[in-house]
Amino acid sequence: MQAGKPILYSYFRSSCSWRVRIALALKSIDYEMVTVNLIKDGGQQFSEEFQALNPMKQVPALKIDGITIGQSLAIIEYLEETRPTPRLLPQDPKKRAHVRMISDLIASGIQPLQNLSVLKQVGQEKQLSWAQQAISSGFNALERILQSTAGKYCVGDEVSMADLCLVPQVANADRYKVDLTPYPTISRISKSLLTLEAFQVSHPCRQPDTPPELRA
Amino acid sequence: MQAGKPILYSYFRSSCSWRVRIALALKSIDYEMVTVNLIKDGGQQFSEEFQALNPMKQVPALKIDGITIGQSLAIIEYLEETRPTPRLLPQDPKKRAHVRMISDLIASGIQPLQNLSVLKQVGQEKQLSWAQQAISSGFNALERILQSTAGKYCVGDEVSMADLCLVPQVANADRYKVDLTPYPTISRISKSLLTLEAFQVSHPCRQPDTPPELRA
């Protein structure tokens, strides 16, 4: 069923796509990328072709080993189970629970409330304050949790799935002008992770679909 | 570190709490319940005492084996790793990916958009249409996915984590008067699951904090 290289459906600015790009980079998985522009043509994710692939009309989606998986954390867990090196979940079940709790806090508790489709519904004038409120509220909790779980990274000193969620969420916080001063642990860990190659090559400013003015 | 029985912090109507109550019931795990009333006293989840336990100010949270875990799916994954029988994730990694994709679709793609705190922000007059839109949009995708993954239940014929997410979400759909006619697969699976004892004993209408008028 291994039908050639995995194909990642990605949008440069999608924080959920970035999570998966980091996982693929860390695990040195060779893949092809198909870019899906969430803005152009009213949103390419709404095409019949893409909906057949991912009925949620969202990126990322990964075609791999003969199946197509949507939802970034489901993709990362699958990669972890089938390509376990280097691991993105610690061996100890309690630490794994911390990694998943932090990942879910971001993936269910913050990101969905400030994604593009929700902000559209909220309306132009309230968008910024809505996004800031969602992120600050989540970061207040996250900062407190990290104070007991973090070492060099979110959980101890090994890069984990939680870190793959953290960095893209901090980038969204920057984008929505959230003051990060109250979150020294979040800021420290995110900065430290951004020095790693896997976080750099997967960065929104270095993707094939990054517009020239946003490249770095 | 096994410090007595696990303690579940739960609210009868919280769909995320219900997910965990089903898991505990299926796995026959003996536990104590502390109820957290999300409405009374302005919301008991905002107390300093509860925030120290779960900085996200949300239920469920589970104290178990000397740690406290927030986020329902992180809790269920931990239970699965430490109390594996009966299993809530299939053995085959591809089927596990389907289970996690469906679980995340509900836990990140639907539930957060229609939970109490978001609906409060949306405001009284728009609440119902906002919740209906979030649920219908997610169910459109879910119905399509289930047509290829489902057997008797969401993924094949074994009860899985995806089913633990499905039934409480269908209950929320009922509560917000979403027409389920377009979702025959979702409806069939949910009805079938509700005949199982673990889904019945954990039901919002049978909890210690269920108000008398909602008991059944």
Q: Are B143 and B185 in contact (CB under 8 A)?
A: yes
Chain B residues within 8 A of A53 when measuring between CB atoms: none
Closest partner CB to B101 (pick from A74, A100, A112) = A74
Q: With a CB-CB cutoff of 8 Å, which residues 159-178 of chain A face chain B?
A: none
CB atoms within 10 A of CB A206: 14
Cβ neighbours of residue B213 closer than 8 Å, sequence gap 6 or more: none
pLDDT of residue B108: 97
pLDDT of residue A197: 98
Tens of pLDDT, residue by residue over A115-167, are: 988 998 898 899 999 999 999 999 999 999 999 999 999 999 999 999 999 99
Closest partner CB to B78 (pick from A82, A97, A130) = A97
Q: Does A140 touch chain B (CB under 8 A)?
A: yes
End-to-end CA distance of chain B: 38
End-to-end CA distance of chain A: 38
Q: Does A133 touch chain B (CB under 8 A)?
A: yes
Tell me the two tokens of residue B200: 């019945």
Tell me the two tokens of residue B151: 């057997």
How far lies A82's CA from each of A64, A103, A191, A212, in Å? 11, 20, 29, 36
Q: With a CB-CB cutoff of 8 Å, which residues 28-57 of chain A face chain B?
A: 54-57
Tell me the two tokens of residue B31: 């536990």
Q: Are B146 and B185 in contact (CB under 8 A)?
A: yes
Torsion of Cα atoms, A184 then A185 then A189 then A191, to 10°:
0
Q: For domain B7-86+200-214, give its CATH number from 3.40.1130.10, 3.40.30.10, 1.20.1070.10, 3.60.40.10.
A: 3.40.30.10
SS (H, E, C) B150-194: ECCCCCECCCCHHHHHHHHHHHHHHHCCCCCCCCHHHHHHHHHHC
Tens of pLDDT, residue by residue over B170-214, are: 999 999 999 999 999 999 999 999 999 999 999 999 999 999 999
Q: Tell me the C-alpha distance between A33 and A48, whole Å.
A: 19
Under an 8 A CB cutoff, do A55 and B145 touch?
Answer: yes
pLDDT of residue B1: 45
pLDDT average, residue stretch B68-92: 98
Q: Are A164 and A88 in contact (CB under 8 A)?
A: yes
Residues β-bridged to residue A9: A34, A61
Side chain identity, residue A173: A
| Mutation to test the A interface, candidates B19, B69, B77, B113, most A Cβ within 10 Å | B77
pLDDT of residue B216: 85
pLDDT of residue A64: 98
CA distance B99 to chain A (A): 8
pLDDT average, residue stretch B93-108: 98
CATH of domain B93-196: 1.20.1050.10
Under an 8 A CB cutoff, do A145 and B55 touch?
Answer: yes
Residue spans of the domains in chain B: they are: 7-86+200-214, 93-196
Side chain identity, residue A131: A
Q: Tell me the C-alpha distance between B113 and A112, whole Å.
A: 7
Q: Tell me the C-alpha distance between B20 and B34, whole Å.
A: 14
* Average pLDDT per consecutive 10 residues, chain A (216 residues; last block may be shorter): 83 97 98 94 90 92 97 98 98 98 98 92 92 97 97 98 98 97 98 98 97 93
DSSP string, chain B: ---SS-EEEE-TT-HHHHHHHHHHHHTT---EEEE--SSGGG-GGGSHHHHHH-TT--S-EEEETTEEEESHHHHHHHHHHHS-SS-SS-SSHHHHHHHHHHHHHHHHHTGGGGSHHHHHHH-TTTHHHHHHHHHHHHHHHHHHHHHHHBSSSSSBTS--HHHHHHHHHHHHHHHTT---TT-HHHHHHHHHHTTSHHHHHTSGGGSTT--GGG--
Beta pairing class for A7-10 and A32-35: parallel
pLDDT of residue A1: 45
pLDDT of residue A176: 96
Q: Tell me the C-alpha distance between A38 and A57, whole Å.
A: 10
| Mutation to test the B interface, candidates A100, A147, A183, most B Cβ within 10 Å | A100
CA distance A113 to chain B (A): 7
Q: What is the DSSP letter of A3?
A: -
